[in-house]
Amino acid sequence: MSELPKRAVVMEFAGAGQPLRRADRAVRKPTGRNLLIRVGACGICRTDLHVIDGDLKQPKPHVVPGHEVIGTVVALGPEARGFKIGDRVGVPWLGFTCGRCHFCRSGRENLCEKPKFTGYTLDGGYAEFVTADSHYSFKIPDAYTDAEAAPLLCAGLIGYRCWNLVRHAKRLGIYGFGAAAHIVAQIAKHHGQEVYAFTRRGDVAAQKLARSLGAKWAGASEDLPPKLLDGAIIFAPVGSLVPPALKALEKGGTLVLGGIHMSDIPALPYGLLWGERVVRSVANLTRQDALDFLALAPKVPIRPRVTTFPLRDANAAIQELREGNLTGAAVLMP
Same-domain check for residues 320 and 176: no
Same-domain check for residues 149 and 290: yes
Residue 4 confidence (pLDDT): 86
Is 2 contained in some domain?
Answer: no
Same-domain check for residues 219 and 329: no
Same-domain check for residues 204 and 290: no
Is 245 contained in some domain?
Answer: yes
Residue 6 confidence (pLDDT): 94
Read off φ and ψ for residue 270, nearest 5 degrees: -55, -30
Q: What residues contact 43, with CB distance under 8 A and at least 6 apart?
A: 66, 68, 150, 151, 153, 154, 155, 179, 306, 329, 330, 331, 332
Same-domain check for residues 141 and 203: no
Same-domain check for residues 142 and 214: no
Residue 167 confidence (pLDDT): 98
CATH number of 75's domain: 3.90.180.10
Is 158 contained in some domain?
Answer: no
Residue 15 confidence (pLDDT): 96
Same-domain check for residues 32 and 118: yes
Is 39 contained in some domain?
Answer: yes
Residue 231 confidence (pLDDT): 98
pTM: 0.95
Please identify every stretch of the chain with a pLDDT value under 70, giving residue numbers as ranges: 1-2
Residue 3 confidence (pLDDT): 77
Q: How far apart are CA 140 and CA 178, in angstroms?
A: 22
Which domain, by its residues, includes 101?
Answer: 7-153+284-333
Same-domain check for residues 149 and 298: yes
Is 160 contained in some domain?
Answer: no
Residue 1 confidence (pLDDT): 47
Same-domain check for residues 143 and 179: no
CATH number of 214's domain: 3.40.50.720
Is 45 contained in some domain?
Answer: yes
Number of separate domains in the chain: 2
Same-domain check for residues 245 and 188: yes
Same-domain check for residues 129 and 185: no
Residue 2 confidence (pLDDT): 53
Is 159 contained in some domain?
Answer: no
Same-domain check for residues 231 and 324: no
